[in-house]
């Protein structure tokens, strides 16, 4: 039996399809639209999967502020359509969510557990929290929050933070990067390995899965250049100086101890090791 992967042309969805191989049936735009209830039900009932993994989402955080209806249609209503289909098929729904469900607690110094109260800021964050609540309507749900995803570029992924930094470094010696947002950059193959494990043990409920440790985007940029052997001056700036349309979490480090306590759970390497793995694989592609 197959695994349906929605959002198969994005970085996470494409990695899911690579790791599941022949087991995976990938669905994505333009052929598959989460906002079209009839199309979602038809596609999933035809595939008759043993599980559905929802890696599709409206992730343009700033654009969500300008087009909240579209963001909600994909990230909330689309999940409702998946729940309906999974209920008809009696199969589990693995829904991927985000650290953005946590807000801007300037005093926060400890990572967020699954039991901590969310406090989303902005349209995208609010819609992702609503999507979790919708997914929970189906008892056979598994929700995995992750953070700062990057991976091999895919058809529908314009880039990632690492590629952006390396592209900028090709034409300039100084780069300005936000230094007041603390999170955990996470490599997609490690997340997919964890998702496959959670499905294999028929886990249910909510889990946090990220690389180990934490840093700021400024710290991540400096490490990218250090490991790449590039002498780039990384200037720290504030979120206010960057001036993005949507608010970003000031602190959104996730506590993964619930996942790591599971017997035989695949490890989650430190973010520095994950970055080194990405850069090695990048050279070999």
Which CATH number covers residue 105?
3.40.50.720
Q: How many domains does the chain have?
A: 1
What contacts 9, CB < 8 A, 6 or more positions away? 26, 28, 29, 154, 155, 156, 157
DSSP secondary structure string for all residues of 132-144: HHHHTTSSSEEEE
Residue 226 lies in a domain: no
Task: Confirm whether 279 is domain-assigned.
Answer: no
Give the contacts of 115 (CB within 8 A, at least 6 positions apart). Answer: none
* % of the chain residues with pLDDT over 90: 94
Please indicate, yes or no, if residue 283 is contained in any of the structural domains: no
What is the rounded average pLDDT of the residues 215-237?
98
**Do the domain assignments include residue 49?**
yes
**Whether the predicted model's global pTM rises above the 0.85 cut:** yes
Q: Which residues does the annotation mark as catalytic? A: 124
Closest CA to 219 of 249, 181, 174: 181
Does residue 125 belong to any structural domain of this protein?
yes
- 234 within a domain of the structure (yes/no): no
On whether the CB atoms of residues 241 and 180 are closer than 8 A, the answer is: no
Domain assignment of residue 173, yes or no: no
The half-sphere exposure of 235 on its side-chain side, counting CA atoms within 13 A, is: 8
The predicted-structure confidence for 230-268, as pLDDT tens digits, reads as follows 999 999 999 999 999 999 999 999 999 999 999 999 999
Per-residue pLDDT tens for 78-111? 999 999 999 999 999 999 999 999 977 767 889 9
The domain containing residue 44 runs over which residues?
Answer: 3-157+185-211+253-269
CA geometry: angle 154, 156, 162, nearest 5 deg: 55
Predicted pLDDT of residue 122: 95
281 assigned to some structural domain: no
């Amino acid at each position: 039996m197959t695994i349906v992967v929605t959002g198969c042309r994005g970085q996470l969805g494409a990695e899911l399809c690579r790791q599941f191989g022949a087991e995976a049936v990938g669905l994505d735009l333009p052929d598959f639209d989460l906002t079209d209830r009839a199309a979602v039900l038809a596609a999933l009932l035809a595939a008759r999967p043993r599980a559905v993994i929802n890696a599709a989402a409206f992730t343009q955080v700033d654009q969500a502020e300008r087009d909240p209806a579209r963001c909600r249609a994909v990230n909330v209503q689309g999940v409702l359509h998946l729940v309906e289909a999974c209920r008809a098929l009696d199969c589990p729904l693995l829904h991927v969510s985000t650290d953005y469900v946590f807000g801007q607690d300037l005093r926060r110094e400890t990572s967020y557990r699954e039991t901590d109260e969310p406090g989303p800021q902005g349209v995208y964050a609010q819609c992702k929290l609503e999507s979790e609540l919708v997914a929970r309507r189906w008892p056979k749900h598994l929700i995995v929050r992750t953070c700062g995803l990057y991976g091999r570029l895919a058809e529908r992924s314009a880039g990632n933070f690492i590629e952006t930094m390396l592209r900028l470094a090709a034409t300039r010696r100084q780069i300005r990067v936000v230094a007041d947002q603390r999170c955990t950059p996470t490599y997609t193959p490690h997340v997919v390995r964890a998702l496959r494990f959670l499905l294999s043990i028929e886990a249910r409920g909510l889990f946090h899965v990220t690389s180990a440790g934490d840093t700021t985007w400024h710290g991540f940029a400096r490490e990218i250049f250090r490991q790449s052997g590039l002498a780039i001056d990384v200037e720290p700036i504030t979120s206010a100086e960057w001036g993005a349309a949507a608010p970003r979490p000031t602190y959104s480090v996730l506590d993964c101890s619930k996942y790591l306590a599971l017997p035989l759970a695949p490890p989650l390497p430190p973010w520095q090791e994950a970055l080194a793995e990405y850069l090695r694989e990048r050279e070999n592609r």
